Structure formats: C-alpha cells, structure tokens
Amino acid sequence: MKTVRFSVYRFDPSSDKKERYATYEVPYKTGMTVLDGLLYIKERLDHTLAIRYSCRMGICGSCGMTVNGLPRLACYTQVKEVGWSLKVEPLRNHPHVRDLVTNFDEFFKKHKSVKPWLVRTDSREQESPTSQYLQSDAELEKYIQFSYCISCGLCYSACPVVSSLPEFPGPQALALLYRYLADSRDQSRSERLKIVDEAVGIWRCHFAGSCSQVCPKGVDPALAIQLLRREMMRG
C-alpha cells in the first residue's frame, strides 16, 4: 500500500525545550486531504498532536497551516497535489500556540479595526433598517468577490510585509476594507479612507501578490488593495 510521509512540526511551550519535526507514515487513500492525514495521525499514531479544524470542507477557515512551504487549508489541499512527502508547519506571521495551532487574536483585531460592516449615516436606520437596500448587478460585482473571504489567515501568513512589519494591517483587513468601501449601500467612505492612511498602513503594500496566490477562495486581496489605493489617492 502506498504511504505518505508526514513530517510535522511539534512544539509545546509548556513542556518542550526545543522544537522538533516528528515523522509519521500514513497509508494513502484516494482523495486524501492533508487534514485527513493529520487526523489519521491523531487517531492512530500520536494523540498528543494539536491541530485546529472544524468544517473539513473549506468553509470555516480554521485549518490553515504551512504545507511544503506555502500556507494552505489542510482540508482543502489534496495530498496528491503537494507530493508524497509533506512538511507540515504552523502558519507564519501568526503567534504560535502549540504544534500546528496559531493564535488569531492580532489578526481578528486588525480585521475589526477596518469596521467590516455596513455603516449608514442615519443611526436610527443603522439600528433598525426600514427597507431593503437594492443593488444593481454592476454594483454587486464591484465587491462580491472580496466578500467570499473566510478569514483563514493564509494571506496574512504569506504576506512578506506582515512578516517584517507586524503593525501592517495585512491583506485580509485591507481587502475587507475595500469590500465595504466599494459597496453602494455603505455611507462612510471618508471615515473608511482615514483608517489605514498612515506610515504603517496601506502604503506599505508593494503588490507582491502572495496573498492572492494562496487564497483558497479566489478572493484576490492584492487586487482589492490596489483598487483601495486608487480610492485613497483620489481622496
């Protein structure tokens, strides 16, 4: 039977002194994803392995990890597309918790800082909308792509700017900022434009495109950020 070699990053800060890579042989099954392999390890080979996952179908965005050097969703990545020997590490740029688990507090804080919700100038309307806000197809297409984000943090982990400048909002937050800016139902354009206009804000994006390359949902954060930059220059 064909087996897949998993080399998994192990480190538990409460007991381990040094990080190490543990190797496991997992029998291959057709259609096996990286997450399937890790769950096999956890069930049969080593119960102490810590991983985070939930939906197993690329919807919840909790199983992000670095597989063979690139950030990927473990449940969304077929073993077949990466190879028979896998190196699985935690996501970069996120604080490490244990084994393959990383902490997303900082990431979600940045997400929240761009006000990812629709804002109406009329506060009564904001609290209890009186009608539906209609949109044309063209208006919808301006932002619909960016609203597919599942906040899995892969783009944040791939971004070279985040890795050197931890204060940078990251591709996810900036793309979501543009998603609400471009929405015809939103009424807080001038406030939104102020949020990331600073030395460590949007101007530090250099269009390295890694965010769009690793995004599992086709959101294309790089495109959103460049369009956001255009809006910011326009003022």
Restricted to residues 46-75, the positions that interact with ligand FES (CB under 6 A) are 53-56, 58-63, 73, 75
Structure tokens at 220: 């294309």
Judged on CB neighbours under 10 Å (0-12, 13-18, 19+), 94 is: buried
Q: Which of 33, 102, 151, 172 binds other proteins (CB under 8 A)?
A: 102
End-to-end CA distance of the chain: 62
Q: Which of 86, 161, 176, 195 binds other proteins (CB under 8 A)?
A: 161
Binds 56: which of other proteins, ligand FES, none (CB < 5-8 Å by kind): ligand FES
Q: Minimal distance in Å, beta carbon 216 to ligand FES?
A: 8
d(CA 166, CA 156): 10
β-pairing verdict for 85-89 and 3-10: parallel
Does residue number 13 form part of the binding site for other proteins (CB under 8 A)?
A: yes
DSSP state letters, 64-100: EEEETTEEEEGGG-BHHHH-SEEEEEPPSSSPEEETT
Binds 73: which of other proteins, ligand FES, none (CB < 5-8 Å by kind): ligand FES
Please, what's the largest Cα pairwise distance for the chain? 65
Which residue lies nearer to other proteins by CB, 68 or 188? 68
> Is there a contact between 67 and 34 (Cβ–Cβ < 8 Å)?
yes
Q: Minimal distance in Å, beta carbon 34 to other proteins?
A: 16
Structure tokens at 110: 């940045």
**Among 33-41, 109-117, 125-133, 194-202, the segment contacting other proteins (CB under 8 A):** 194-202
Binding site for other proteins (CB under 8 A): 9, 11, 13, 17, 19, 68-70, 89-92, 95-96, 102, 141-146, 148, 158, 160-161, 163-168, 182, 197-201, 203-204, 206-210, 212-213, 215, 217-220, 222-224, 226-227, 229-230, 232-233
